[in-house]
Amino acid sequence: MPYDSDADKAKPDRALTWQTGWRLWVTSPRHLLVTTAAIVAAGLLIGELVMLLFIFPPQSVATDLARVPDLVGQTAEQARQRVERRRFSYEEAAGIPHTEPEGTVVAQEPLPGQMAPPGSPVRVTLSFGPPQRPVPDVIGLSHEQAEMVLRKSGFEVAVTHVDAGEDVGEAVGTRPGPGTRLELPGSVRLLVSAGERTVLVPDLAVQSLAEAEATLERLGLRLGEVAEDSASLAAPGTVLAQTPASGYEVARGSRVSVTVAVAPVPAVDSTLTPEDTSTALPDTAGARADTMTANRESG
């Protein structure tokens, strides 16, 4: 007949056996792999249940939720009506510049298709329309500078040359005028001076040839023939005279011829030295004496 003390001894033995078996199960590679796979599968199952029940619940479960409608691309009034029909609260967020027409819904929160309780807010973002920018003031700049400023501001540029009293190639205006706000990319016509129809010929005297040509081009004139004068004491390359003379009124695009100073050509010294003269000249005196002696003997 077993004693109670024997039963007390058996209990620790069974507990020790269970602990030993559990340790062997956990530390065994095969059992550890099975346990890990089971835990991962259970986690995935729980995550899927949470998604189905709370994020995308079926209609049988989400009896107190409603699906958020798609509002992007609709006008503000159309979006309001759809939101209120689904028993949501309509709200508008701050608008943003957008390529969509002004007043069009370009974003919403919550996203279309999500479930939300009736009465919860649906916030929409409306378009302000395409971004706008004022036309910069480029009057007085050169053609190249003005065009660069307009293009960097986001505008497309078309250039028109007009009769104007400003220097040729200078920006004299834009269409539309400076400060006008345009949607980007807007088109701006740049007005560039072609000079006046008739021009007073400038005084080119004492200018260098390069300076004279730049002066003529600025007024809408062109450099004509260039003559050279080596007898002048002026610095080489300096304009001495011009045709037509300064002050004459000529048509735009006319040519102005100039005369410029050039360095004189060094003279060649052709005078022979006394030594060279003695060797180069024949003895004409001796030749005449021999001729006279021969004539007397023959006579």
Q: What is the pLDDT along the chain (299 residues), one digit of tens a residue?
A: 454 555 554 455 565 565 666 565 556 666 666 667 777 777 777 877 766 655 555 554 455 899 999 999 999 999 999 999 999 999 999 888 888 888 999 999 999 999 999 999 999 999 988 888 999 999 999 999 999 999 999 999 999 999 988 989 999 999 999 999 998 889 999 999 998 888 899 999 999 999 999 999 988 899 999 999 998 888 999 999 999 999 999 998 899 999 999 998 776 665 655 555 444 555 555 555 454 444 445 44
Helix, coil or strand: residue 64: coil
Record the tokens describing residue 179, joined without a space.
Answer: 């400060």
Q: Are 168 and 220 in contact (CB under 8 A)?
A: yes
Rounded distance, CA 90 to CA 110, Å?
11
- Written in H, E and C, the secondary structure of 212-269 is HHHHHHHHCCEEEEEEEECCCCCCCCEEEEEECCCCCEEECCCEEEEEEECCCCCCCC
Q: Are 202 and 175 in contact (CB under 8 A)?
A: no
Rounded distance, CA 221 to CA 183, Å?
39
| Sign of the torsion formed by the C-alpha atoms of 172, 177, 179 and 184 | negative
Q: For 227, how many CA atoms within 13 A lie in the half-sphere containing its CB? A: 11
CA angle 156, 169, 187 (to 5 degrees): 15
Amino acid at 102: E
